[in-house]
Structure 1
Amino acid sequence: MNSNFRALLPPFIALALISIVPLVSPSLRPLLLVAMSISLCAIGLLILLRAGQVSFGHALYFAIGAYVVAFASRKGGLDLWVLLGLALICSVVVGALLGTILVRYRGIFYGMLNLAFSMLGYTIFLRAYDYTGGSDGLRVVSPPILGFSLGAYEFGWGLYYCAVALLALVFWVVHRYLHSPMGAALGAVKTNEVRLEYLGVSAYRVMFVAHVSAAGLAGLGGGLVAFSTGHVTPDLAYWSLSAEFVFVAVLGGTANVVGALIGAVSFELIRGYASAYAGNAWQLILGAVLVFVVLFAPQGLWGAVQRILPLRAKEKQL
Structure 2
Amino acid sequence: MSDTQPILEVENLCTTFTRGGVALPAVRDVSFNVGKGEVLGLVGESGSGKSVTLRSILGLSRRYGDVTGSVKWMGQDIAQMPERKLRHIRGRDIAMIFQEPMTSLNPLLTVGLQLTETLKAHTDMGRAARRDRAIEMLDHVGIPAAASRLNEYPHQFSGGMRQRVMIAIALAASPKLLLADEPTTALDVTIQAQILDLILSLADELEMGVILVTHDLGVVAQTCKKAAVMYAGRIVEQGDVRQVLRAPRHPYTVGLMRSVPQDVPPRSQLYTVPGTPPSLEALPQGCAFAPRCQGRTEGCLVARPPLATIAQGRSVACFNPVTDAQGAAA
Give me the TM-score of the superposition, normalised by structure 2.
Answer: 0.25
Q: Which has the larger radius of gyration?
A: 2
Name which structure has the greater RCO, CA cutoff 8 Å, separation 6+. 1
Q: Greater share of strand residues, 1 or 2?
A: 2
Give me the TM-score of the superposition, normalised by structure 1.
Answer: 0.26
Q: Greater share of helix residues, 1 or 2?
A: 1
